[in-house]
Structure 1
Amino acid sequence: MSATLEDKVVIVTGSGGGIGAVIAARFAKEGARVIVSDRDRGAAEAVASRISGAIAIPADVTSEQDVSALIERTLEAHSALHHVVANAGVIRASHPIAETPLDVWRSTMSVNLDGVFLTIKHSAAAIANSGGGSILTLSSISGTGGTPLAAAYGASKAAVRNLTATAAGELRAQNVRVNALVPGYVNTPLIDSEVPVWESTMGLAPGGFAQIIDQKQGRLISPEDIADAALFLTSDQASMITGSSLTVDGGFTSQLF
């Protein structure tokens, strides 16, 4: 892929680790000036220290004040903003709906949905004023159908896709594209921590989840796979793609069995 992000200013939220950190590094490799943002200041600074030219700006995406300040500080540092990857998200402990505490529901929605809303709300004008660019949200295949044991997560990710489509229509005239990535099961510590809970609650033997992945997805998706897809949707090669959801799941959701 050609380096179409040369000197473009890019914010990646939730990039103090996991998928976000890999996306930040991938974009920097393509010449972008990356803002590593995370609510964990130390994590953001550690990732930024490993990426040439990157700077860390901590922000909690559930705080409107923090998100607004993130955009302001980015403009102070680089006088422009071209792309934002709204990656910050959480999945709380797995529960059936009847056993899901209200605070878990609300805190999941606060990060996964409110955080994306605030990121779009406060970055759109800055991107438009910089000559246009894109906003990329992170949804999930959990938002494409029922998600046992993760109702809050699935509902929040389904809402992200709808919010993405709405924002794309509103911002097209301002030369701001808005798209969603829809990953399947990605090889991250988060998945590792949840697998035993899923296997136990769903009555699977140890290793049962791995068998499902082998059958439905082929392998766990790597964070690099997601970073490559993010790079494409952000690049000029996707200049006529907006309001779309790109599924990266190895065919998981395309099969009935």
Structure 2
Amino acid sequence: MNAGTQRRFEGRVTVVTGAAGALGRACAASLANEGAKLVLFDRDPNGLAETAAICPGSETVVGDVRYAADVKRAAEAARERFGPVESLVAAAGIAGPSKKAIEVEEDEFDLLFDVNVKGSWLAAKYLIPQMRELGRGSVVLFSSAAGLRGSPVLSVYSATKGAVTLLTKSLALNHATENIRVNCVCPGTIESPMVRLSIADAGDATAQSAREDLQKSMHPMQRFGLPSEVVGAVLYLLSDEASFTTGVALPIDGGRLA
């Protein structure tokens, strides 16, 4: 821990889904640095182990957010190891194919909604009840700038993130009187392996360069964001500093939606 680092999450039991991904890992590392007791969940065992290595004392659960049994197992593991969960970061997600909506195949469509929407819902379904036991809790789901405005490139991804945005608002209303806050972050294009795969999907080097330039041009800052720039917002929304904030969909997008 760096000298002077805040310890806003000291002893707070927190589950991070998608913990092997760039954003999930960055959130987990910062939460660990601020004293959280972490349960890290992902379907990638190697990536999960790499995240756990920078989060001392964390518990890991290999599983898929699409399946209720796996998410329930993570919730039970958290309770058994640390006690009831107080915070949730639902960072698991996929971008899917770069196609117009009507060109997406049915199996691709189903996978996107299963991971991005159902996975977020299952995490809330199995972890919010533990927050009820404590009489407090905070949830941050991961939407996207594409969940606030349509995307010509990632059309079905945009639809799933729009669903996550409204799931956030509905959950916030469901649990507002229970001292459980639910918010989501809406990143623009953030430098990550998922973004690089999306760019690679454009085709040859010329097409890839054109897609990267196009995506950067959508942001007035003319660059991609960094995982660290999303983490600060996530930790703020999780923290007691945001105690009167719920139902918010917070863009972190370099001005894209300004």
| TM-score normalised to structure 1 length | 0.92
The CA distance in 1 between the partners of 2:184 and 2:100, in whole Å, is: 27
Assess if the C-alpha contact under 8 Å between 2:19 and 2:25 holds in 1. Answer: yes
User: Which of 12, 17, 24 matches 2:21?
Assistant: 17
The CA distance in 1 between the partners of 2:211 and 2:197, in whole Å, is: 15
Question: How many equivalent pairs are there?
Answer: 252
Question: How large is the Cα RMSD of the aligned pairs?
Answer: 1.9
The CA distance in 2 between the partners of 1:211 and 1:99, in whole Å, is: 21
Alignment partner, residue 93 of structure 1: 97
Alignment partner, residue 125 of structure 1: 129
User: Which of 148, 157, 169 matches 2:152?
Assistant: 148
User: Which of 153, 163, 169 matches 2:167?
Assistant: 163
Alignment partner, residue 180 of structure 2: 176
The CA distance in 2 between the partners of 1:177 and 1:53, in whole Å, is: 26
Assess if the C-alpha contact under 8 Å between 2:128 and 2:137 holds in 1. Answer: no
Kindly report structure 1 stretches of 4+ aligned residues shifted beyond 6 Å.
none
Alignment partner, residue 238 of structure 1: 242
Alignment CA distance shift 1:169-1:50 (3 Å) = same
User: Which of 210, 213, 219 matches 1:210?
Assistant: 213
User: Which of 172, 180, 185 matches 2:189?
Assistant: 185
The CA distance in 2 between the partners of 1:143 and 1:198, in whole Å, is: 21
Assess if the C-alpha contact under 8 Å between 1:199 and 1:209 holds in 2. Answer: no
The CA distance in 1 between the partners of 2:77 and 2:135, in whole Å, is: 18
Alignment partner, residue 102 of structure 1: 106
Where 2:209 maps in the other structure, the secondary structure is coil
The percentage of counterpart residues that share the same residue type is 29
The CA distance in 2 between the partners of 1:233 and 1:178, in whole Å, is: 9
Deviation at 1:214, TM superposition (A): 5.1
The CA distance in 2 between the partners of 1:5 and 1:210, in whole Å, is: 39
The CA distance in 1 between the partners of 2:167 and 2:218, in whole Å, is: 32
Alignment partner, residue 8 of structure 2: 4
The CA distance in 1 between the partners of 2:40 and 2:231, in whole Å, is: 14
Instruction: Give, as a single letter, the amino acid of the residue that structure 1 aligns with 2:219.
Output: K
